[in-house]
Structure 1
Amino acid sequence: MNVQDSRRPLTRTDLPAGLWSATTKFRHGQCDPAGIVYTPKFFDLFNRVIEEWFDDVLGIPYQEVIGTRRTGLGYVSASATFFTPCMMGEEVEILVAVNKVGTKSYGLTLHALKDGQEALRGHFVTVTTGLDTHQSIEVPADIRDALLIYAKANTLATD
């Protein structure tokens, strides 16, 4: 089964065992008056998880890439597929998968699981840019190598 193209919510066992994950609990300030997590908060959370993943797994400090190295990691495409609402007080485990590594961009899928079943899935295509020129550049070699190693270890397709 190609987990990237699945139109149904996945379970933890549908995903490669080695995917890195982070767990978070939804708080009052992330929810609407009905106690349902407000949609934009998911994108903020996904971005935070990607930053942590860079630091913890790729071994490349995200803030260094953007700050010191002046390399932008902007989303050319960001979307989410929602399967079930997340509510205040609930926890989700978010797993990061690399699904494509190109010359100037890469694709990530984030699987947000609630009680072991996918509540939503985030899809991100990141293009690397020079922050001084705002033009696309090749994915830096250390980032590209780290992405490919992670993808290979987790049996996900890369180009």
Structure 2
Amino acid sequence: MPFETTTQVRFSHIDAAGIVFYPRYFEMLNSAVEDWCAQALGQDFRTLHLHRGIGVPTVKLDVEFVSPSELGDMLTITLSPREIGRSSCQLHVVFSGDERVRLRANVVLVCMDLHTRRATPWPEEIRARIQEGIAYAI
């Protein structure tokens, strides 16, 4: 099932033109991934990082900026898992607001052992939840 979360465009997100400065979208995207891990995958970043020694860094990011966002806009961020590998996961992400798509992205995350700094297989319970999301999208 696609995962949705929301965020509001804040003053700290905008530039002198009054629209979201593009790197701020990446910060919002990372927050959405953090919410997805906690709410959809059942593992918050505190547990993953501090207790399990696992990180989920972005290793590939393909983004299309479709329409600008302005101060005060409420954005819905939808994450849809598309593929899962041994240690990677591909997500399709859409930012939208006021019935307009603002941004589309394809993201590849990797499950990483924080001690060795190398890719590691997804824990089975996390893999199962990601696969549920993929099955829903088909």
Indicate the TM-score class for this superposition, using the shorter chain for normalisation: over 0.9
**Residue 67 of structure 2 is aligned to residue 84 of structure 1:** yes
Could you tell me which residue of structure 2 aligns to residue 94 of structure 1? 77
Aligned residues: CA RMSD: 1.3
The residue identity in structure 2 corresponding to 1:90 is: D
CA contact (8 A) 1:46 1:122 kept: no
**Residue 8 of structure 2 is aligned to residue 25 of structure 1:** yes
What TM-score comes out, normalization by structure 2 length? 0.93
What TM-score comes out, normalization by structure 1 length? 0.81
Q: Secondary structure at 1:94's aligned position in 2? A: strand
CA contact (8 A) 1:23 1:92 kept: yes
Q: Using the alignment, how far apart are the partners of 1:106 and 1:50 within structure 2?
A: 12
CA contact (8 A) 2:2 2:81 kept: no
Could you tell me which residue of structure 2 aligns to residue 126 of structure 1? 109
Q: Using the alignment, how far apart are the partners of 1:86 and 1:53 within structure 2?
A: 22
Q: Using the alignment, how far apart are the partners of 2:133 and 2:55 within structure 1?
A: 21
**Residue 23 of structure 2 is aligned to residue 40 of structure 1:** yes
Q: Using the alignment, how far apart are the partners of 2:89 and 2:45 within structure 1?
A: 15
Q: Which consecutive unaligned segments of at least 5 residues does structure 1 have?
A: 1-17
| Stretches of 4+ aligned residues off by more than 3 angstroms | none
